[in-house]
Structure 1
């Protein structure tokens, strides 16, 4: 009887832990949507270096202040993996900003959200977490929805540079997400985000200075819209990474990947209603398929979670 009671309590604790992981990830989805929506609006008024430097430099300043206030360690462990992960994430973000300037946000995000498939493919070899058949089937459903949005007429037309940038960003983002899952075993979310801000600031600083000194692009935004976009991006850029890193502490990489597809319908409808991109039945159908695949996976009663060896 006592053993059964302990097993039930352990099961409830595990379900509660999973619920927290899902909540953190959903919060990160909202923050990413706000940040990427602002980046889309600003892509026609700001350089990628202005956008990138604002995100990473100001994020780093906020992070340093929080670390000092709460006495948190920033350096962590696994320096090489930290730098690889940060570099992949920075490159993915900058490529997406470039893609936003060339193609509609709905198309860019559809292509970007092929990264859960890359995550399922790579997670077994990188972190030893193979995706199950049910996960693969749900990712296939998501890809069908993506194809419906991208090629509504059924004819597979060639992709331009904007599409290729979004696809490359998806590959890099999948690597970054998988490495977060590996790093969270021995590092807290603050440490992981610190390296992202450090690498991102270093990557963007030199081109930003060069553009300003040569007068090819001004140091600061020359319009009120540009300033507003940068201001809106700062806080969500910090919270998005902290929230998703907390989610990775208790959720498998493949599970987080599929859940984060929920950002796609949010930004697709932002493009339609705020940026006046065309709304079609195929767009609604495609986003529904993607949404359904994500929710089905995450509402399963039985979860085969593998928790991190060390919780933070």
Structure 2
């Protein structure tokens, strides 16, 4: 991998994280007015159309891309992700972007923790120590026992666990299917599941909110497309730490647009969680380079 490709991958990753942060802001605004299930349903209609388009133009045919050796698991992944997105948006509305993202930032540590028993990967004491430190940061954010903890925080915490399970399953199905197949079923199975639930919560939207919804759909598709390009031009271990920039990007939107409160314990806890997560990334990258 050339230095130029790594630099391009970092630039694209920063762009993708900024787009996803904007997407979170749009999701929160729409969910303040409309039912979360309807908002996610419409977003997934566009997402499904996007993955089908990608299957036709980059995969050769929809049938070829849709062919899976672990179809049941692929469908479960897609349904799990769309449920996680609903929970995350609820957390945005109830907690604000700052606190929801600060708690959600622990998901890479959960993936590392789950990778041992589920995937059979070796997790050494240094990474287990980083996981422990990361969850200490989560406790700093939650402040249990000090009157600050609210049940609403569980929305973000459960969403982080769900996304970590989704990440582990994604790594597992990668042993059997191509990335294009996983991407296809993520969009299609999620759209079908969300339509079955969200259609019952349909309500009229204003013209301006339809514009925002269209912007949300385009940003989601473009963000995923840029993310695909990121991993086309650079190694995942080299660019993945920059995904944490979504936390300050989304927090800035929360403070400036939605007037979220920036509590000191949330800032300190988020720094601890992100630092622990970065350590696990760099530790994994060092091990891969040593093995190579």
The TM-score normalised by the length of structure 1 is 0.74
* Mapped partners of 1:245, 1:183: distance in 2: 20
Q: Which residue of 2 aligns with 1:67?
A: 55
CA change 1:91–1:114 in 2 (3 A) is same
Measured on the aligned residues, the alpha-carbon RMSD in Å equals 3.6
Given candidates 17, 30, 39, the residue that maps to 2:27 is 39
- Residues 39 and 97 of structure 1 are in contact (CA less than 8 Å); yes or no, is this contact kept in structure 2? yes
- Residues 251 and 305 of structure 1 are in contact (CA less than 8 Å); yes or no, is this contact kept in structure 2? no
Q: CA deviation at 1:25?
A: 5.8
1:178 maps onto 2:150 in alignment: no
Q: Which residue of 1 aligns with 2:258?
A: 275
Given candidates 37, 44, 55, the residue that maps to 1:49 is 37
CA change 1:269–1:67 in 2 (3 A) is same
Q: CA deviation at 1:177?
A: 0.5
* Mapped partners of 1:201, 1:143: distance in 2: 33
- Residues 33 and 266 of structure 1 are in contact (CA less than 8 Å); yes or no, is this contact kept in structure 2? yes
CA change 1:302–1:105 in 2 (3 A) is closer
Aligned residues: 282
- Secondary structure of the 2:286 match is coil
CA change 1:227–1:167 in 2 (3 A) is same
- Secondary structure of the 2:126 match is helix
Given candidates 93, 100, 111, the residue that maps to 1:108 is 100
Q: CA deviation at 1:165?
A: 2.2
* Mapped partners of 1:230, 1:19: distance in 2: 32
Q: Which residue of 1 aligns with 2:286?
A: 303
Q: Which residue of 2 aligns with 1:205?
A: 195
Residues 114-193 of structure 1 mapped to structure 2, 5 A cutoff: 114-151=106-143, 155=146, 157-160=148-151, 162-193=152-183
- Residues 262 and 290 of structure 1 are in contact (CA less than 8 Å); yes or no, is this contact kept in structure 2? no
More helix by share: 2
Instruction: Point out the structure with max Rg over C-alpha.
Output: 1
- Residues 148 and 286 of structure 1 are in contact (CA less than 8 Å); yes or no, is this contact kept in structure 2? yes
Given candidates 230, 235, 242, the residue that maps to 2:213 is 230
In the TM superposition, what whole-angstrom CA distance separates every residue of 1:114-152 from its partner, at most 9, and x where no partner exists? 32332122112322223333333334444344443443x
Residues 67-86 of structure 1 mapped to structure 2, 5 A cutoff: 67-70=55-58, 71=60, 73-77=64-68, 78-86=70-78
Higher relative contact order (CA 8 A, sep 6+): 2
- Residues 103 and 141 of structure 2 are in contact (CA less than 8 Å); yes or no, is this contact kept in structure 1? no
CA change 1:145–1:44 in 2 (3 A) is same
- Residues 65 and 184 of structure 2 are in contact (CA less than 8 Å); yes or no, is this contact kept in structure 1? yes
Unaligned runs of 5+ in 1: 1-12, 307-312
CA change 1:16–1:294 in 2 (3 A) is farther
Residues 229-248 of structure 1 mapped to structure 2, 5 A cutoff: 229-241=212-224, 243=227, 247=231
The TM-score normalised by the length of structure 2 is 0.78
In the TM superposition, what whole-angstrom CA distance separates every residue of 1:142-170 from its partner, at most 9, and x where no partner exists? 4344443443x98254432x222222212
Unaligned runs of 5+ in 2: none
